[in-house]
Chains A and B, each alone.
Chain A
Amino acid sequence: MIRMIISRLFQSLVTLFLIVTFSFFMMRIAPGGPFDSERNLPPEIEANIMAKYRLDLPIMSQYVYYMSDVAKGDLGLSFRYQDHTVNELIFEGAKVSFTLGAFALLFALIVGVPFGIIGARREESVLDHMIVTTTVFGISIPNLVLGPVLVMLFAILLPVFPAGGLDSVRSYFLPVLTLSIFYMAYITRLTRVGFIGIGKREFVVTAKAKGLSEPAIIFRHMFRGGILPLVSFLGPAAAGILTGSIVIEKIFQIPGIGQHFVQGALNRDYTLVMGVVVFYSALIITFNFIIDLVYLALDPQVKYR
């Protein structure tokens, strides 16, 4: 068990290293530098700028410098916002994006899991069919359509919620809802599938036969096994919510990390884009590692393999 955890940890670190390396060289082979628009600078000033960002060094030593900086947790200076470090920009944006993402995931779980369980326990009933069909709609509505529609309905036609910004508690409502619908639908489906699988097992039939109440069967006997498919989805879900929030931030004009990333990409602000990629990858890898541990704790079959 300990060996497995250590080998997972090692694998995560290798993955992160490869991702950083790969992204670094991708950015460096990019044609056109970040300062192309300022081409008519005097050569000595340009040399100064290049030196400030270590762009005058050979690529391998740039790489070594960058890697050692990243290992220390320093993602460098932004090419574009020259008085900001990438760390500052990411930290500012991350606070907003994380609050949004965390609420969205929580909301999706609170609604999705109960509906999934209901659907599974009443499999093939009218209610179950309704739930499944609704989830197909939930999965099909892209958030870039849902967001504007919600703004139109609840901010313009019927002004109950603000259309943008994150100034009040109410202003969280529309962005969180937009972000969570897809995951709500997906979580419902996964929970349903998980509980249907568990429900056919003999120990559940036994529990029912000896007269246990439905809540006792669900929570004491089925829950642990039933949510396993859901647990393994949480890793990709977290990654998806992070990227999904890029669109949400654009629609609702929220100054999150996604806005930085898109702006950085459009401005060729390579250090910022690199920083966001490194940061997100590290985050997703850490999250996946934790999910693996949770899975290990929940599923006795994995433990003894």
Chain B
Amino acid sequence: MNTNQDKRSRALQCITFMNSNIQLRTGTIILVFFIVCALLVPIVSSYSFYKNDLDLGPVSPNAAHLFGTDDLGRDMLVRCMWGLRISLLIGICATSVSLFIGVIYGAIAGYAGGRADMLMMRIVDMLYAYPFIFFVIILMVVFGKNIFLLFAALGAVQWLTISRIVRGQVLSLKNRDFIKAARISGCSTLKIIFLHLIPNCFGPIIVYTAMTVPTVIMEESFLSFLGLGVQAPMASLGSLISDGVEYMETGAWILFFPGAILCLVLFSLNFIAEGLRQKIDPAR
């Protein structure tokens, strides 16, 4: 597929690509910074995210606690970074689940065509009407507030749009000569779908994936904010913000840091998505 023979290493190509657009560049720099912080800070720091220090209580940011401490004397920097870890993990896992379901579903519908396609897409239309966040909330209530369930549930509700996009792509690709050639040369249907059709939809898939990551991160923080997501003492950015709201008047920093981190991460992800859209899929 890649016709221009680029002799540079993959990593260098990647960096050049990310550097080619201001939104991509800004987004990537902020995101990489936060990923590194989220990975390193809890390892380097001498504080833990769950250990209370009731004698200390809430103190505003200082040299010992850069982000201050919360009402139980826990270091906010470490807690924010743990929250960020959870949020990023949700972003990756839930998006992967949604990609997995959506791409396969859409590709099968598009390739099958006819009645099967119509039925499958009608189901997608119907599911669009379902208030999905309620479904996730019910799931969390019914099966307990389990973080892995949260990953799966958030992913399972995000696959609808990606399946539509992939179906549309497959529909326009499946009568092209290279697919006919594959079929004539005895390629099995599965092979055609997975080796010839799906790889050719990568452009729109990548763009949409980049848009899904901030969406699921936002939804997770929404659930945790309501107390229906990640449970204490583990923290996610949403639950930290929810704690912060309670101490808004006396300890603004408890709200400020998780809120600012969540915003910046979402900015960076949305900037990356916007940049990718401009580079890969400028028609939209």
Contact = CB atoms under 8 A, between A and B. Distances in A.
B214 A265 contact: no
Interface in B187-222: 214, 218, 221-222
B274 interface: yes
Given A31-B142, A136-B271, A281 B129 contact: yes
Interface residues of A, number: 47
Interface stretch (A38-46, A47-55, A171-179, A239-247): A239-247
Contacts of B130: 19, 281
A140 B226 contact: no
A144 B238 contact: yes
Determine which residue in A236, A246, A265 has the highest number of CB atoms from chain B within 10 A of its CB, and name it: A265
Interface in A1-31: 11-12, 14-15, 18-19, 23, 26-27, 29-31
Nearest to A250: B226
Interface string A266-289: 101000010011001100110010
B244 A148 contact: yes
Interface string B109-148: 0000000000000100110111101100111111100000
19 contacts: A11-B122, A19-B129, A26-B138, A27-B138, A27-B142, A139-B270, A142-B266, A145-B241, A145-B262, A149-B259, A243-B133, A247-B222, A247-B226, A251-B245, A261-B137, A277-B134, A280-B131, A285-B129, A288-B129
A137 interface: yes
B241 A148 contact: yes
A148 B248 contact: yes
A12 B141 CA distance: 28
Interface in B234-271: 238, 241-242, 244-245, 248-249, 252, 255, 259, 262-263, 266-267, 269-271
A65 to B, nearest CB: 21
Interface of A: 11-12, 14-15, 18-19, 23, 26-27, 29-31, 136-137, 139-142, 144-145, 148-149, 151-152, 156, 193, 236, 239, 242-243, 246-247, 250-251, 261-262, 265-266, 268, 273, 276-277, 280-281, 284-285, 288
A42 B140 CA distance: 31
Determine which residue in B125, B141, B225 has the highest number of CB atoms from chain A within 10 A of its CB, and name it: B141
B142 A140 contact: no
A242 B251 CA distance: 31
Closest 5 CB pairs of A and B: A30-B142, A140-B266, A145-B259, A15-B126, A140-B267
Interface of B is mostly: helix
B7 interface: no
Interface residues of B, number: 44
B57 interface: no
B225 A247 contact: yes
Determine which residue in A27, A140, A246, A284 has the highest number of CB atoms from chain B within 10 A of its CB, and name it: A140
Contacts of A141: 263, 266
Contact of B248 (A30, A156, A239): A156
Contacts of A151: 248
Nearest to A287: B129
Contacts of A139: 270
Nearest to B270: A140
A98 to B, nearest CB: 15
B137 A265 contact: yes
B171 to A, nearest CB: 16
A246 B221 CA distance: 13
B142 A243 contact: no
Given A149-B259, A152-B248, A281-B130, A144 B241 contact: yes
B274 A136 contact: yes
